[in-house]
Amino acid sequence: MLRPVVQYPDPVLAKICEPVAEIDDEVRSLAKDMLDTLVTVGGVGIAAPQIGVLKRMVIIDVSLEKEQDDLPQDFRVFINPVITVLDPKPHEENEGCLSVPDLRAKVKRPRRVALDAMDLEGKPVHIEGEGYYGACMQHETDHLDGKLFIDHISFLKRSLYDKKMKKNRK
Ligand SMILES: [Zn+2]
């Protein structure tokens, strides 16, 4: 089921999410709603708080690993994901977010990371990658700690964006 995407500055996006204790029907139906929403609105990843559920779950397009534009998207569910930095050298990617309308910005993050999680069967999964793929893993996992990519951009850029959003809401 398609769900509305929570938009910045909704305070839900700044909350810390709860770990998933058990993979039950509720968790499976949440994964389905996240996927339906992501496919409908379009994107490379989504985190549960973006549809208003404070659970540690993300979906990432793992076809990004191949760095080829013509590949079909391959969405995987990651439950309780944990990021490990494999190469801390800063790397910059142009990021955007379904919850942060009308903004893309360069964000510096560690160059290469691993993500460890569980899949919907409760089996451990491990992915690693760099570039845009690595940035995507970090971006989505950040959401579970109430962090958005705009928390990583310069103060000036952030202030300009906040001002614009305030104006739009009036
Ligand atoms: Zn995002």
Q: Which CATH architecture has domain 11-169?
A: Alpha-Beta Complex (3.90)
Higher pLDDT, 165 or 146: 146
- Residue 167: its pLDDT value, please? 87
pLDDT digits 0-9 by tens, 28-73: 999 999 999 999 999 999 999 999 999 999 999 999 999 888 899 9
| Ligand 1 centroid distance, CA of 43 (Å) | 9
Catalytic sites, residue numbers = 140
pLDDT digits 0-9 by tens, 69-89: 889 999 999 999 999 999 999
- Residue 141: its pLDDT value, please? 98
- Residue 8: its pLDDT value, please? 96
pTM: 0.96
Query: Of how many residues is the chain composed?
Result: 170
| Ligand 1 centroid distance, CA of 133 (Å) | 13
For the chain, give the secondary structure using H, E and C: CCCCCCCCCCHHHHCCCECCCCCCHHHHHHHHHHHHHHHHHCCCEEEHHHHCCCECEEEEEHHHHHCCCCCCCCEEEEEEEEEEEEEEEEEEEEEEECCEEEEEEEEEEEEEEEEEEECCCCCEEEEEEEHHHHHHHHHHHHHCCCCCHHHCCCHHHHHHHHHHHHHHHC
Tell me the torsion sign for CA atoms 78, 83, 87, 92: positive
Segment 17-28 shows an average pLDDT of: 98
- Residue 70: its pLDDT value, please? 87
- Residue 69: its pLDDT value, please? 83
| Ligand 1 centroid distance, CA of 42 (Å) | 12
Q: How far apart are CA 21 and CA 33, in angstroms?
A: 19
pLDDT digits 0-9 by tens, 113-156: 999 999 999 999 999 999 999 999 999 999 999 999 999 999 99
